[in-house]
Structure 1
Amino acid sequence: MRPDASLRPEKALSTQRKPLCLALLALFGMGGAWAMQPAGTVAGTAAPATAVVASVEFNDDFLVPQGGHKADLSRYQEGNPLLPGEYRAELSVNGRLAGYADVRVSAGDAPGRGRVCMTLSLLDQFGVDMSRLDAGVLAALGAPGACLTLPEIVPHATATLDPGLLRLEVGIPQDMTRRTPRGYVNPALWDSGVTAGFLGYGLNVYRSESGGISSTSGFLSLNAGFNIGEWYFRHNGSLGAQAGAGSKYQNVNTYVQKDLTAIQGRLVLGGANTSGELFDTLPFIGAQVASDDRMLPDSQRGYAPVVRGVADTNARVTIRQNGVVIYDTPVAPGPFAIDDLYPAGYGGDLQVTVTEADGRERSFTVPYAAVPMLLRPGMTRFSATAGVLNDTALSSRPRLLQATVQRGLTNSLTGYAGVQASDRYASVLAGAAFDTGFGAVSLDVTGAYARIGGRTFGGASTRLAYSKLFQQTGSNISLATHRFSSHRYVDFSGAARMEEAFRRGLDIDSMVRPRSRTSVTLNQPLPRGWGQVFASAFTQDYWNGRQRDVQYQLGYSNRIGPVGYSVTAARVRGGNGAIDNQFMLNLTLPLGRQPRAPQLAFSLGHETGGGTTAQTTLSGVAGEDNQLSYGVTAARSAAGQVSGALNGQYRTPYTSVQGSYGQGAGYRNASVGLSGSVVAHPGGISFSPYTGDTFAVLEAPAAAGARIDSYPGLKLDGRGYGVVPYLMPYRQNEISLDPANIPDDIELKVTSQQVAPRAGAVVMLRYATDSGQAALIDAALADGTPVPFGAEITDGSGNNAGLVGQGGRIYVRLKDGGGPLTARWGDGAGQQCVIEPAVEGAQSSPLLRLKRICERG
């Protein structure tokens, strides 16, 4: 019977095994701590209060001699020996936790005194100001095989790795650290990835029969990319096919992009879309340079006000929003400014408390409400586009020039402007956004001029946006907009359609042109246990007499125990101009208390003049990684007809498979589909059941079957490769491997890595592995006594392989049948011996048990 993987000791990391043994020695040292003496002092005398203990001595009477031999503890007089290897360590920088990182230690000048090697990634995580470092030192740091310690890079800095606690204590002078906002990742660490290509796909085939007529159709969507250096080529397209009617491929867009790090923006060449922040989104073919907010730290994205104040002493500033503490920091005496708050939806006023060192408290409120136009003070968002309008409904492509800019002017004022131009069209937009105690408001005016069919059109359009969270009542008017356009106003796309209509001889005055548009969304939580009310409204009317568009919705939701319910009423004006009133009741009930229990949903709907409909659905997930999802639905129409449907999706390690079947009165239909990604990288071709644009390809030689943490169902394939399909660009993503399912003779040297990819990058992460037969060796000297506890074990190449435990027991991984191992418990000629653990023949046991004699000499 195969042992449970979770109990197999050979799965433990070698970088975890060493500190474990060292921790035992450290524990022993603590047991004799009463015998610690400052170096150079006499036993029994008190050391001065200011004395620095440079070394300690252990009372080895607590060590039971094994065959007359005791381990030499002199190596531990200055702390646990630091042996070469890789350690997953907690980072403590100037007394504050700074996360975790993989730390490499190389051999030092003396046995057990390894050198902690620095990397650019570590220095960035420490918060070192790279601009203050010597250029020659930085160049040496990047040399292959280089191992520079922190004091060699940053004067007067310290870095001490405690292998027992797995903690790297770092001290850096304040003038060598940078002042950075929360969430900052140094652009030097943004990974452009490797040369690679990928193809994301979604294929669905449909079959339907109704009224004796059957039809078959298919649809294929493609998302392809190829990366070389910092240039990322992209293509999005779709293929539609109908039996008996042929097929048609549509090019959605094709472009190449490159990051412009210096301006925190991106260059796009080819077919893409404008952002739509100030003007309506337009498809274009041409060139665009635009800022990308994703390149900003999380605490600088979106809008949040700067909190300013004055502290009389070393004070503590606490900021609350809706009663929840969102920021807490110490400040020095004098004026302070907190400018790295994370944006929180559409806001909610901030309550600021300044607690002085003598206990005095002062509180004040900072208004906080946001609309999309608002930016933080000093922040800029921009775009510039030149090309042609890529509208497939047009027989020609009018030229397009567009430029926009937004600038945070003060803590509560953002100004913005934009221009659009073509051969016979021009428009100018100007506006401002304000954050006030009454809410956030933006107001802008667009003036447009167009020459169409020999006629002149000119007018203006005004837009107003408002947002506010009323804390007294909890009411959240998340967004309210109003636009009013004059009779002769036309936007860019409207002018292009009117020009197309004129060329075709149509009446351009009959074309639909909006006059005004208003939308409101409101969310109102009720007292605890009473649920919440939500409402929305949208209306739009037109200049040429077309009936007004109307859509209103009012709803209420709550829970009674595990049962959730909602009631909704809506009014919609249909395409025929008739008003339709709709009412809906929804109930959800989990069928069990387990997290993966199936869920039963019931809905009852009624429409004016349309009768009442009912629907019941049972849905859930199954499988170790929730790889199977399913749903069963039964419905009754307003005419009393009953129908049913089945649907499901199964996610394999390589692709996702979907299927559905439905049948009702006079009809039935079915569909089947596949979706996923194929990634070509330097190691070959890998598959993923997910689609994405920013990938990580994991490589762990021979570690087939290792699971990728935080991505259910993903694991390394038979060649040791795996694909993580979606990463957060410009952010540190930690990707870990679970070694529980890897082969018995393989050990992961590193299980976790961090990477900050650029948007669209395909990055390679290589996880070193160690192969060999795991073995527990009971080693004894020639006289039958165990090898002394705590002795160091090195392999034939001089690499550290572990430590001797109680009773002479050694855990090692044997390579190539098992070469000689050297045990050393002191520096004397008689304080070492050699073990020959050679194993003949193939071994099927995951853990080999051996008894060997350790020969002196």
Structure 2
Amino acid sequence: MKTTLKQPALSLLALSVYSSLGYATEINTAFMQGTTEVPSVLKEGVKYPAGQYYVDVMLNGARTGRMPLTVSPEDEKSGQLCLSPEWLQNAGIFFLSEPYEQTFDKVRGCYALGRKESTRLNMDMGAQTLDFVIPQAWMPEKNDAARWDYGINGLRLKYNGNFNKNIQSGGSRYGYNDDSLNAYGNFNASLNLGRWILSSDMTGSRNAWGSEFTTNNLTLSTAISQIKGDLLLGRSQTRTELFSDFGFYGAAVRSNSNMRSWQTRGYAPVITGVASSTSRITVSQGGYTIYSRVVPPGPWKLDDISSTSNGNLVVTVEDNGGHKTVTEYPVATLPSLLRPGDYQYNVAVGQRNDTNRLEDAFSSGNGTFALASFDWGLPTTTLNMATILHNRYQAAGLGLTQPLGEWGAFSAAVNGSRAQYDDGSQRQGVSATVKYAKSFTNNTDIQLLTYRYQSPGYTEFANWQPDERYRCNGYGFDDQYRDENGQYRDEQYRYRYNYTCFTGREKARYEARMNHRMDNAYLSGSFWQQTYWGDQRDAFGASLSASTTVMDGISVYLSGNWSRSAWSTQDDYSGSLGVSIPFTLGGVRHYSSNTVGYSRYNGTSFNTSTSATLSNRLNYSVNAGTDERSNSNAGASVSYAFDRIQTNMAVSQSRETTTLSGNLSGSAIATAQTGLLLTKESSDTVAVLRIKDTPGVTFNGSLPTNSSGNTVVYLTGYNPTTISINPENVPDGAELLNTSYDVVPTERAIIYREFGFQNVQRYILRVRDAQGNILTGGSAVTEQGLDAGFITSNGVLLMNLLAAPQKITISQSNGRQCSFAATGLKADVRSVQEIRCE
């Protein structure tokens, strides 16, 4: 209901009385002209007086914005504010719709949020604030889809290229010379049109054997907020937990975990409770605080704890009376473990593509397949399901991941496949995988313990080749095993065929990784073993590494590796010991790294290097090394970040060869708002910022704006970000209309924001009368009648004007006037200018 124009003025007057008198029960209205009724704003028991206000909006005590607010007589009578969804969104008040579904007034089209238990709207008439108190469990994530920004239309090319050139100074000891130019480049191009993005990821290489262009991604895609996923059309890769991934072209719909807040990615238990009063909840692991939050009274749910490692979570709840409740939650994690209620899915239809060559991006010949996978985080476990259907290949998998509390976490999965071949043969088999993780103490855990078994006939769709008649996993096969019709000659040959085909195929694999942390040291180790069907030897591998920091930042590290191949008669082993020593030279922190290593092939080697970051644009490195075969080398490199490109150049010298190399990276962005921009920023998601025709301004640590006032800031998709201008770089005469923007960009979006300003002419004057006496008061106006300021008691007049004035007139309280010419005044001078007003 609309109010009259007199109401706001009356409300403001009443507010001043209200704030000074408090909750008066009887008000003498004789001072109010035209009314004898006490205004509702002064009545006792009126929670929301009808009227129009301009309030600072708060959410659980944090300011979200400033908004005009109209309180209707219906709101006053019911004691409930009813606010439209548009008003709430513009005010920055977001909440989950389901808990507040019953508070929506369908007739008026607004939410009366105060009707919900544990929810309050506190309106402070004196301070002109409206504070929403909403339980944390009923608030959405900060990157909720309602806040997403898909950006503007534009074209972007991100590039990264390198080259090296060998110059032989003499004949090679191995009789091989390669002085050709070798080059490599990666190019990521995208065309943004509304919510759709046409993108490609291509690589090009050149060497002595020729040139090649490849791609593993060529898609048209869009984000779909309702399913927290993406629709992709074109050439891309599958993503499943149970099967080996492969390239294909077709259509896919798959979940995108980045659409959830970064705190909720990865596994962490969901912890719930009820707060009797305003309480602080603190979560720690291994003695470190990883989460802290203050929640209002009512139910709370912690589903945004950062993904955790193995070890107990200690949850402390402290209410406003100082009472603490401490609870421990044992946690062990596995890659397949999801939070309760979380899910991952992938649905794809198309044809498998086995080559990355650009000209063959949409070629196959293997027929159409359909893939579906779904990973579901249940309250106490995670379920994994997947299937692949093809007219000549079928596979299905089922997995289960179970947290075991103090006993760790366990997962098991079973896959089955059936594959048919051009020669009429058929293979079928199963694959079973078991994984286990356990934290023994806060400092020691088994990160992953894995066993995988594959039967002889099990075939991954990624490796299935229907024309594999005589190749048998890529190896040649003698035609004598079959007759002229392709049939087995007899059972003896059938046995020999199957034995030969299955020899060398993987049978079982064991893996184990363990970590141990101390105060300032870290120790890790791993072991794996691979067995094969047939008479192949087993393959083994092991690694061990340790690192620590001593004294004033000196780092020491030790590593060792050992492996045995199934096809080699000799083991391979290597080890290294290194130390990195920091030192300061010329006020710059440098690092000196020295390493001694040993390997079976090269024997003992020594390397030393020194590096430093001299500025935010420049860094360098020099190095030298030798080994027991008298292979000595020395080199140097320098990197410099220009505004438009990132560069690196290096030179190295060995006994026989001088090598020159370099690297270039950056991106080009073209939009209708800014034209062509070249920048060294190469993030997938960016913000193009503009402060018109104002160079040298920075935002969030960006490079300065160019001559047109444009610059680029890197962003992270679906990550809430506040883009703020650095006021120190803004010219003195610029009055900013806005200083920051809150954005939630979608992936690969080009966000555009313009920071408006007005060029203000600033003058600091000390005004005297015709006799030289300081004026102690008076208002100033320009020749156009515009207000120019007020003279203070010490005669100082501060004027902020959009244009240089010609004449200033001073009007004093005693009715006298004087004026002075302003054409000779200097704007934006920080010193006080003396002036006579006559």
TM-score (norm 1): 0.76
Structure 2: state its 5+ residue gaps: 1-14, 28-53, 70-85, 111-118, 172-176, 357-362, 478-499
| Separation of aligned partners in 1, 2:454 and 2:284 | 41
* Secondary structure in 2 matching 1:755: strand
Residues 818 and 836 in structure 1, CA contact (< 8 A), matched pair in contact too: no
1:92-103 matches, within 5 Å, as: 92-94=58-60, 96-97=61-62
| Separation of aligned partners in 2, 1:634 and 1:641 | 11
Q: Does 2:273 align with 1:296? A: no
Q: Which residue of 2 aligns with 1:569?
A: 560
| TM-superposed deviation, 1:369 | 1.9
| TM-superposed deviation, 1:134 | 7.8
| TM-superposed deviation, 1:722 | 0.5
Q: Does 2:147 align with 1:184? A: no
Q: Does 2:694 align with 1:706? A: no
Which letter does structure 2 place at the counterpart of 1:375?
L
Q: Does 2:705 align with 1:716? A: yes
Which letter does structure 1 place at the counterpart of 2:665?
S
1:71-110 matches, within 5 Å, as: 92-94=58-60, 96-97=61-62
CA 1:590–1:324 in 2, change beyond 3 Å: closer, same or farther? closer
Q: Does 2:403 align with 1:435? A: yes
Residues 669 and 677 in structure 2, CA contact (< 8 A), matched pair in contact too: yes
| Separation of aligned partners in 1, 2:610 and 2:617 | 17
Q: Does 2:197 align with 1:237? A: no
| TM-superposed deviation, 1:797 | 8.8
Q: Which residue of 1 aligns with 2:480?
A: none
Residues 820 and 834 in structure 1, CA contact (< 8 A), matched pair in contact too: no
| TM-superposed deviation, 1:255 | 0.5
Q: Which residue of 2 aligns with 1:601?
A: 593
Q: Which residue of 2 aligns with 1:673?
A: 663
Can you list the C-alpha shifts for 1:736-772, whole angstroms capped at 9, x where unaligned?
2224345554444433222111111101011012224
CA 1:749–1:851 in 2, change beyond 3 Å: closer, same or farther? farther
Structure 1: state its 5+ residue gaps: 1-36, 42-46, 55-86, 107-117, 140-153, 163-167
| Separation of aligned partners in 2, 1:752 and 1:285 | 42
Residues 350 and 368 in structure 1, CA contact (< 8 A), matched pair in contact too: yes
Q: Does 2:164 align with 1:206? A: yes
CA 1:337–1:540 in 2, change beyond 3 Å: closer, same or farther? farther
Residue 382 of structure 1, aligned match among 327, 339, 345: 345
Residue 632 of structure 1, aligned match among 618, 622, 632: 622
| Separation of aligned partners in 1, 2:679 and 2:650 | 22
Q: Which residue of 2 aligns with 1:149?
A: none
Residues 241 and 384 in structure 2, CA contact (< 8 A), matched pair in contact too: no
| TM-superposed deviation, 1:833 | 7.4
Residues 278 and 418 in structure 1, CA contact (< 8 A), matched pair in contact too: yes
CA 1:362–1:251 in 2, change beyond 3 Å: closer, same or farther? closer
* Secondary structure in 2 matching 1:262: helix
Q: Which residue of 1 aligns with 2:578?
A: 586
Residues 59 and 134 in structure 2, CA contact (< 8 A), matched pair in contact too: no
Residue 270 of structure 2, aligned match among 306, 317, 321: 306
CA 1:769–1:310 in 2, change beyond 3 Å: closer, same or farther? closer
| TM-superposed deviation, 1:698 | 0.1
Which letter does structure 2 place at the counterpart of 1:585?
L
Residue 543 of structure 2, aligned match among 553, 562, 570: 553
1:742-753 matches, within 5 Å, as: 742-743=730-731, 745-753=733-741
Residues 524 and 545 in structure 2, CA contact (< 8 A), matched pair in contact too: yes
CA 1:215–1:818 in 2, change beyond 3 Å: closer, same or farther? same
Q: Which residue of 2 aligns with 1:817?
A: 804
| TM-superposed deviation, 1:534 | 1.2
CA 1:546–1:818 in 2, change beyond 3 Å: closer, same or farther? farther
| Separation of aligned partners in 2, 1:312 and 1:847 | 56
Q: Does 2:229 align with 1:265? A: yes
Residues 346 and 371 in structure 1, CA contact (< 8 A), matched pair in contact too: no
Which letter does structure 1 place at the counterpart of 2:604?
T
CA 1:663–1:594 in 2, change beyond 3 Å: closer, same or farther? closer
* Secondary structure in 1 matching 2:608: strand
Q: Which residue of 2 aligns with 1:256?
A: 220
Q: Which residue of 1 aligns with 2:441?
A: 471
| Separation of aligned partners in 1, 2:181 and 2:307 | 48
Residue 287 of structure 2, aligned match among 299, 316, 323: 323
| Separation of aligned partners in 2, 1:53 and 1:572 | 92
Can you list the C-alpha shifts for 1:404-445, whole angstroms capped at 9, x where unaligned?
1111221x2111201012231111011111111211221111
Deviates more, 1:226-235 or 1:249-258: 249-258
* Secondary structure in 2 matching 1:476: strand
Residues 374 and 414 in structure 1, CA contact (< 8 A), matched pair in contact too: yes
Which letter does structure 1 place at the counterpart of 2:455?
S
Q: Which residue of 1 aligns with 2:823?
A: 839
With a CA cutoff of 8 Å and minimum separation of 6, indicate the structure with the bigger relative contact order.
1
| TM-superposed deviation, 1:197 | 0.8
1:475-490 matches, within 5 Å, as: 475-490=444-459
Residues 773 and 846 in structure 1, CA contact (< 8 A), matched pair in contact too: no
Count, aligned residues: 730
Q: Does 2:685 align with 1:694? A: yes
* Secondary structure in 1 matching 2:463: helix
CA 1:324–1:239 in 2, change beyond 3 Å: closer, same or farther? closer
| TM-superposed deviation, 1:581 | 2.2
Q: Does 2:374 align with 1:400? A: no
Q: Which residue of 1 aligns with 2:603?
A: 611
Residue 419 of structure 1, aligned match among 382, 387, 390: 387
Residues 547 and 577 in structure 1, CA contact (< 8 A), matched pair in contact too: no
Can you list the C-alpha shifts for 1:568-593, whole angstroms capped at 9, x where unaligned?
22212367442122121010001129
| Separation of aligned partners in 2, 1:234 and 1:500 | 38
1:5-44 matches, within 5 Å, as: 39=17
| TM-superposed deviation, 1:853 | 5.8
Q: Which residue of 2 aligns with 1:733?
A: 721
CA 1:833–1:646 in 2, change beyond 3 Å: closer, same or farther? farther
Which letter does structure 2 place at the counterpart of 1:190?
W
| TM-superposed deviation, 1:388 | 1.1
Q: Does 2:131 align with 1:171? A: yes
| TM-superposed deviation, 1:710 | 2.9
Which letter does structure 2 place at the counterpart of 1:426?
Q
Q: Which residue of 1 aligns with 2:49?
A: none
Residues 189 and 199 in structure 2, CA contact (< 8 A), matched pair in contact too: yes
* Secondary structure in 2 matching 1:807: coil
* Secondary structure in 2 matching 1:509: helix
| TM-superposed deviation, 1:361 | 5.6
Q: Report the RMSD for the aligned CA atoms in angstroms.
A: 4.2
| Separation of aligned partners in 2, 1:380 and 1:796 | 69
Which letter does structure 2 place at the counterpart of 1:641?
N
Q: Does 2:635 align with 1:645? A: yes
| Separation of aligned partners in 1, 2:712 and 2:792 | 40
| Separation of aligned partners in 1, 2:283 and 2:828 | 59
* Secondary structure in 1 matching 2:167: strand
| Fraction of identical pairs, as percent | 24
Residue 754 of structure 1, aligned match among 738, 742, 750: 742
CA 1:509–1:328 in 2, change beyond 3 Å: closer, same or farther? same
* Secondary structure in 2 matching 1:294: helix
| Separation of aligned partners in 2, 1:600 and 1:785 | 70
| TM-superposed deviation, 1:696 | 0.4
Which letter does structure 2 place at the counterpart of 1:338?
K
Residues 278 and 294 in structure 2, CA contact (< 8 A), matched pair in contact too: no
Q: Which residue of 2 aligns with 1:351?
A: 314
| TM-superposed deviation, 1:454 | 1.4
* Secondary structure in 2 matching 1:218: strand
CA 1:375–1:820 in 2, change beyond 3 Å: closer, same or farther? farther
Tell which structure's C-alpha radius of gyration is larger: 2
CA 1:779–1:840 in 2, change beyond 3 Å: closer, same or farther? closer
1:505-544 matches, within 5 Å, as: 506-507=476-477, 509=501, 512-526=504-518, 528=519, 531-544=521-534
| Separation of aligned partners in 2, 1:261 and 1:219 | 37
| Separation of aligned partners in 1, 2:541 and 2:475 | 35
